[in-house]
């Protein structure tokens, strides 16, 4: 457990704040009295986020920035310093995904996912660390996924990026203990956002229905609660919690389920391959005779 705090009066930066969880989190944080810096790549969407918040008396500044670009990260840091004179809470929420089997996709897809989900997160953290160390009850909040608790087939690259976030967060939490900076990880399950529509590619045979998941507003509520309570690691939804539990204590069972699922989906392909091998073996035997 980290430090307990109130978000009221805190200076909070949220990346990926133009849609989905980030948008809901900006709204919830402003309503709770936080001074919000909302960052995303599309300025027009950020302006749509800011209007209702300001109309209700909330404090929000918007900054157009791409967390994968060093110059944009520097601009974001300078804008935060200018607007609020420092930072108390950094929420690394920006992320992208893709579906499809690893063998069927090129290396550029993995690099793009890692660039946003991992390197964008780590380098945004790096540039804000000096500011955070001077903050009031400072915290770094990394929005991960249940896919960072258990690797999911047809989502290997996304899972890898979120496992990387988990490992980075655990190590950083210990490193920053001497500086009084909390590192909090929140892992949502399926969430009702445009995440699936915004994916780089969708090649999975079975698509997950995000609209059956938790609402972005509910996720934002639990993120705020984790920040205020100083919870190091929060997994959302019952099925997300169950998946994490099984992956930790019964990894063999999780492996069996994943393998069985893939084999059932590709049963025809496996049967065709078996027949070809048998035919090739028969031809080889005839040649020997």
Can you read off the two tokens belonging to residue 5? 């705090």
**Contact 16/117 with Cβ under 8 angstroms?**
no
Can you read off the two tokens belonging to residue 212? 């059956």
The answer to whether 158 is a known catalytic residue is yes
**Contact 180/131 with Cβ under 8 angstroms?**
no
H or E element in which residue 35 lies: strand 35-40
Question: In the β-sheet with 89-92, what is the strand arrangement from edge to edge?
Answer: 59-64, 35-40, 11-15, 89-92, 139-143, 182-187, 233-235
The CA distance from 286 to 127, in Å, is 68
The answer to whether 162 is a known catalytic residue is yes
The CA distance from 284 to 242, in Å, is 50
The catalytically annotated residue of 23, 56, 158, 276 is 158
The catalytically annotated residue of 82, 149, 162, 221 is 162
Which residues does the annotation mark as catalytic?
A: 158, 162
């Amino acid at each position: 457990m980290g430090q307990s705090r109130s978000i009221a009066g805190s200076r909070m930066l949220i990346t990926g704040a133009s849609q989905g969880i980030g948008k809901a989190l900006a709204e919830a944080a402003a309503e709770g009295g936080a001074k919000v810096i909302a960052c995303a790549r599309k300025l027009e969407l950020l302006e749509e986020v800011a209007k209702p918040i300001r109309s209700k008396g909330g404090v929000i500044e918007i900054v157009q920035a791409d967390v994968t670009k060093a110059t944009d990260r520097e601009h974001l840091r300078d804008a935060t310093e200018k607007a609020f004179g420092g930072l108390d809470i950094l929420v690394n929420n920006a992320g992208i995904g893709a579906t499809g089997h690893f063998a069927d996709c090129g290396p550029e897809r993995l690099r793009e996912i890692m660039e946003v989900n991992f390197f964008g997160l780590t380098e945004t953290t790096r540039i804000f660390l000096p500011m955070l160390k001077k903050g009031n009850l400072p915290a770094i909040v990394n929005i991960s996924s249940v896919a960072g608790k258990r690797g999911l087939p047809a989502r290997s690259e996304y899972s890898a990026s979120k496992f990387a976030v988990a490992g980075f967060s655990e190590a950083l939490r210990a490193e920053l203990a001497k500086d009084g900076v909390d590192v909090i990880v929140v892992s949502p399950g399926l969430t009702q956002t445009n995440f699936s529509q915004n994916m780089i590619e969708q090649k999975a045979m079975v698509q997950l229905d995000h609209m059956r998941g938790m609402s972005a507003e509910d996720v934002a509520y639990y993120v705020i609660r984790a920040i205020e309570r100083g919870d190091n690691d929060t997994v959302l939804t019952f099925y997300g919690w169950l998946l994490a539990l099984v992956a930790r204590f019964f990894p063999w069972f999780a492996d069996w389920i994943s393998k069985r699922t893939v084999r059932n989906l590709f049963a025809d392909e496996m049967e065709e391959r078996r027949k070809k091998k048998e035919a090739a073996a028969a031809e080889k035997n005839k040649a020997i005779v």
